[in-house]
């Protein structure tokens, strides 16, 4: 019933946006839910056939919304859209960087809402079919209680209730573990997205560094040449046009030195970005490690649920066996009562004679 390698919720679409929530007091003003743009993702749970919108900011979930057919995403401006979540009793707002990103998110919201509607219709059809089968199924005969088997039946039902409670408790633990796992997956997905952007920027920077080095060498040669010309002019001690040329050369020299300084700063910034990239890789490795630990924990919970279900099935079989014994006891008791009734009638006839 619960396979060992259970499919987890998978991200099907992601976008970067600033997240807002409606002010519960005024129902008019927007309250920022994130200090900066965060990743907002659509997730799909194949086991439950459920779609959710999830966004994680830091260590907490900013958005955890199950998409229903009644939801509607409304564009209120060129870069802003909103939708209402009746379960959370709030309204979410998303501010995008471009109009194209808003359009893509709106289209994905519409597709997911249609998919959620189809899933609900299939679920309702399945429930109606199950209801029809249960109505058409023959009803089990009423059980008459006899003092001896009644006690065993009571103990069997008590064990059934206990096992059901244990099963519900473990399912709750599994659900909590799944929520943590989904948050970790969203965090990992965000890290992977940032990692890919940093890698692209790093490759582009590495490609530009060589070009900048060549330009830097050319500027240094030009600077040395200009310095030599200035020194020659100063040695000749000329006046008039020579002073004007000297001023132009000095100005060009200053501009080249400023350009060299700017290039050095850009190289320093790229080196710091490279350090950030390594730090991001470390965070991604930690998230993967935590995700694997959560998968091991979920696997353990699944094994415990399987054991509980096995015990529950054994208990149900024991209860069915007790029901059969009780039924046989009732039939024997009916025969005995019938025999006693015949004996009483025979004794009455003898007394009357």
Surface-to-core class of residue 105, CB atoms within 10 Å of its CB (0-12 exposed, 13-18 middle, 19+ buried): buried
Q: What is the pLDDT of residue 297?
A: 87
Instruction: With residue 340 as reference, give the H or E element that holds it.
Output: helix 241-352
pLDDT of 67 strictly over 90: yes
What confidence tens digit (pLDDT) does each residue in 110-129 have? 999 999 999 888 877 776 66
pLDDT of 285 strictly over 70: yes
Integer CA distances (angstroms), 250 to 220, 228, 253, 288, in order: 14, 11, 5, 57
The alpha carbon dihedral of 310, 313, 319, 320 has a sign of negative
Q: What is the pLDDT of residue 274?
A: 72
pLDDT category of residue 256 using cuts at 50, 70 and 90: confident
Read off the pLDDT of each residue in 215-219 and give the average, rounded to a whole number. 79
3-class DSSP state of 300: helix
3-class DSSP state of 54: strand
- Beta strands, E only, 23-173: 30-32, 38-45, 50-57, 60-66, 74-75, 80-85, 90-95
Q: What is the pLDDT of residue 259?
A: 83
Average pLDDT, the chain: 78
CB 35 within 8 A of CB 162: no
pLDDT of 157 strictly over 60: no
pLDDT of 331 strictly over 80: yes
Model pTM?
0.40
Q: What is the pLDDT of residue 84?
A: 93
pLDDT category of residue 187 using cuts at 50, 70 and 90: low
Q: What is the pLDDT of residue 93?
A: 95
Q: What is the pLDDT of residue 145?
A: 41
- Which range has the worst mean pLDDT, 99-103, 105-109, 163-167, 328-332? 163-167
């Amino acid at each position: 019933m619960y396979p060992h390698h259970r499919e987890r919720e998978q991200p099907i679409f992601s976008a970067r946006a600033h997240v807002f929530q409606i002010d519960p007091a005024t129902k008019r003003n927007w309250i920022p839910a994130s200090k900066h743009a965060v990743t907002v993702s659509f997730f799909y749970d194949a086991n439950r056939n459920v779609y959710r919108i999830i966004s994680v900011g830091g260590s907490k979930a900013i958005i955890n919304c199950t998409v229903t057919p009644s939801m509607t995403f409304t564009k209120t401006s060129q870069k802003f859209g909103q939708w209402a979540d009746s379960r959370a009793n709030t309204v979410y707002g998303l501010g995008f960087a471009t109009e194209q990103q808003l359009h893509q998110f709106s289209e994905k919201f519409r597709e997911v809402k249609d998919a959620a509607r189809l899933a609900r219709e299939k679920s309702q059809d399945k429930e109606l079919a199950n209801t029809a089968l249960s109505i058409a199924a023959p009803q089990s005969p009423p059980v008459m209680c006899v003092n001896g088997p009644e006690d065993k039946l009571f103990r069997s039902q008590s064990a059934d209730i206990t096992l059901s409670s244990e099963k519900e408790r473990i399912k709750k633990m599994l659900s909590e573990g799944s929520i943590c796992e989904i948050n970790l997956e969203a965090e990992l997905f965000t890290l992977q997205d940032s990692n890919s952007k940093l890698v692209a920027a790093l490759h582009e920077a590495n490609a530009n560094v060589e070009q900048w080095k060549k330009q830097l060498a050319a500027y240094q040669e030009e600077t040395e040449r200009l310095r030599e010309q200035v020194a020659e002019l100063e040695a000749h001690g000329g006046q008039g046009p020579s002073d004007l040329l000297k001023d132009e050369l000095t100005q060009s020299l200053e501009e080249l030195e400023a350009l060299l300084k700017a290039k050095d700063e850009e190289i320093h910034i790229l080196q710091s970005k490279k350090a950030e990239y390594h730090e991001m890789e470390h965070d991604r490795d930690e998230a993967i490690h935590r995700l694997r630990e959560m998968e091991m924990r979920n696997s353990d919970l699944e094994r415990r649920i399987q054991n509980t279900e096995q015990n529950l099935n054994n208990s149900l079989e024991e209860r069915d066996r007790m029901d059969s014994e009780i039924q046989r006891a009732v039939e024997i008791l009916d025969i005995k009562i019938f025999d006693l009734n015949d004996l009483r009638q025979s004794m009455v006839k003898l007394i009357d004679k």
